[in-house]
Structure 1
Amino acid sequence: MRRLATLGTSAALLLTMAGCASSGAPTVEQTPSLNSTEGGAPAAAQAAPLSDQAMLATLWIQRSAEFHGLSLQAFNVAHDRLNLALARRSAEDKPLAVVVDVDDTVLDTTSYGGWALREGRTYDSQSWADWVDDAVSTASPGAVDFLNYAHDSGVDVYYITNRKAGGKQATIDNLAALGFPQANAEHVMPRTDSSDKTARRASVTAEHDIVILMGDNLGDFDQAFQQATSAARHAEVEKQAGEFGRRFIMLPNPTYGEWEGVVYDGNWGASDAEKRAMRGAALNVWQPESGSVSQGK
């Protein structure tokens, strides 16, 4: 997953948790009335830091049993798909491999997002690097068991992450401390020159048959999903629909991702106010007939 920019949708890390991040404290805007609106968002929401919009999504990942169940579901599906691949494999085939993203796929990064929310901050590369170096991520539900099952079945595991190379050893240490298999310099593959994972996947494919890719962002599967518009991204998903739940297994992540940049037309440098307005404008909104909705008290 690639770490994007504002925390929130942007718990922020990425782009991932790698990419175009903004820094510093968010602007707090003063508004004349809690009932007025501007740019498609209520004034009360506009008065809060933009990062606050990530709070509910972050809490959902950290506290909801629904997220817990979805994570287990993803790794259970991966287990079943791996069993099918193992049953079909012949002695002449390449060795099998499972490729996983790290952040918000096998490791939970939301303690960084929670810290940023409490501090009223957005993602910045230095605080993210400090958090990575602390090696305090917890494991996503089901991840350790599945990857150890793959390892015990003779399958190679590769962790292709868009964490920077400077955080590689801390990432290895974090994974190993949690009991993840094959957490070593060969199998943990951080970002170097590019957040595009194609070359790193190809290096695995050269010697292996990748039977499963797991991630929370479409770029974890195929660079073809990196499109400039939401419609184009959806079209590519439809084009590769048969891969999802089979070779591509996705973890839910509503806090950040490349989808957010599409909402901004790629303009990660927009101000908080501009981003808030673009988020509001992108909503699919019900338009009731005039006067048909009663006002709550």
Structure 2
Amino acid sequence: MPLRNTSARASLYRRRLAPTLSALAIGVALSGCASQEPSTTATYSNADLNEQLVMATAWMQSAAEYRALSYQAFNVARLRLDQALEARSSGDRTLAVIVDCDEAVIDNTPFQAWLIGRDEQYSSASWNAWVEDAQARAMPGAGEFLNYAHARGVEVFYVTNRRESGLDATMENLRALDFPWVDEAHMMLRTESSDKQARRDRVMADHDVALLIGDHLADFDSRYDADDVATRNAQVIQDRAQFGERYIVLPNPTYGGWEAALYEGDFSLSPRQKDQRRRAALRTWSGPEHETP
């Protein structure tokens, strides 16, 4: 009897323990799976998205190729300006060039680098603080070209979407770089609209504009403000004869109209949605023939 009672108690104990052991085994298995695959419900933050700035920002700040492209742009600009000057006739209006500021003649990549590792996105507050610091450096070749234009009697107009509130700091920054024509008559900052056409038209009303220089295609024509990739690319094909002639483009892989087009102009998308839009735009190789799914 005692033995039978002990056996019964053990059997009962095993039956009660079995659900607990099964649950524990399932939990261990699930945790193993979780360690191998990222959770689809995990939060994807701005800090995660900002990691994608690392390569583009490192390239702009350190690559000799980036400097070469900038020098190339301003070398071409000088050649085209010389051609425009040679074609002048008495009685012609004053010759001018229109330039954007950010990533066209001045380098703001330290601001982009500051975003990396932070769980925040571009904001007017942080950008305005950077503008007020007046620490942007000259793009390679920009100062030489702008001062060459000045020496030849060509006016320079800075048509930028920096806001009017940043005028004094922007002028301080450009003067520190020894840029010419830095005065209120030649500084054309954003007031209400980001569309630059009205400001360009004001310059063109009194001047013959030889060149437009920028990193964003809307620095040349407002048609490029379209919020879709196909329209912008079709417009480039239509205007292809202008590039290197009247339009001088500086490279900027960190931000711009190209990014807005990926989001169809909707910057309110979550960081994960922005990441998905960026990845969806990639054309991907199918892989080697021996690769298995």
Question: If the length of structure 1 is used for normalisation, what is the TM-score?
Answer: 0.82
Distance in 1 (CA, whole Å) between partners of 2:35 and 2:47 is 13
The answer as to whether partners of 1:139 and 1:178 remain within 8 angstroms in 2 is yes
The answer as to whether partners of 1:54 and 1:255 remain within 8 angstroms in 2 is yes
- Residue of structure 1 equivalent to 2:89: 90
Q: Greater shift after overlay, 215-224 or 258-267?
A: 258-267
Distance in 2 (CA, whole Å) between partners of 1:195 and 1:166 is 14
Distance in 2 (CA, whole Å) between partners of 1:207 and 1:35 is 63
- String of CA shifts for 1:104-156, please: whole Å, max 9, x gaps: 01000011111121434321111110110110000000000000000000000
The answer as to whether partners of 1:132 and 1:167 remain within 8 angstroms in 2 is yes
Distance in 1 (CA, whole Å) between partners of 2:180 and 2:35 is 55
Distance in 1 (CA, whole Å) between partners of 2:46 and 2:268 is 20
Residue 264 and residue 37 in structure 1: after superposition, are their counterparts in 2 closer, same or farther (change >3 A)? farther
Deviation of 1:273 (Å): 0.8
- String of CA shifts for 1:151-186, please: whole Å, max 9, x gaps: 000000000000000001110110011110011111
Distance in 2 (CA, whole Å) between partners of 1:34 and 1:263 is 31
User: Which residues of 2 match residues 83-162 of structure 1 at below 5 A?
Assistant: 83-162=82-161
- Residue of structure 1 equivalent to 2:277: 278
Distance in 1 (CA, whole Å) between partners of 2:119 and 2:263 is 21
Deviation of 1:288 (Å): 3.4
Distance in 1 (CA, whole Å) between partners of 2:190 and 2:60 is 25
Matched, 1:248 2:247: yes
- String of CA shifts for 1:243-276, please: whole Å, max 9, x gaps: 0000000000000011111111222111011111
Distance in 2 (CA, whole Å) between partners of 1:47 and 1:101 is 28
Q: Greater shift after overlay, 259-268 or 238-247?
A: 259-268
- Secondary structure at the aligned position of 1:292 is classed as coil
Residue 172 and residue 46 in structure 1: after superposition, are their counterparts in 2 closer, same or farther (change >3 A)? closer
- Residue of structure 1 equivalent to 2:175: 176
- String of CA shifts for 1:34-59, please: whole Å, max 9, x gaps: 66697xxxx9x989611110111001
- Residue of structure 2 equivalent to 1:288: 287
- Equivalenced residue count is 259
Give 2:215's aligned amino acid.
Answer: D
Deviation of 1:294 (Å): 7.6
Structure number with the higher helix fraction is 2
The higher-RCO structure (CA 8 Å, 6+ apart) is 1
The answer as to whether partners of 1:108 and 1:138 remain within 8 angstroms in 2 is yes
- Residue of structure 1 equivalent to 2:54: 55
Deviation of 1:33 (Å): 5.1
User: Which residues of 2 match residues 212-227 of structure 1 at below 5 A?
Assistant: 212-227=211-226
| Percent of residue pairs bearing the same amino acid type | 46
Give 2:204's aligned amino acid.
Answer: T
Matched, 1:77 2:104: no
The answer as to whether partners of 2:105 and 2:142 remain within 8 angstroms in 1 is yes
The answer as to whether partners of 2:53 and 2:254 remain within 8 angstroms in 1 is yes
Q: Could you say which structure has the larger radius of gyration?
A: 2
Distance in 2 (CA, whole Å) between partners of 1:253 and 1:32 is 38
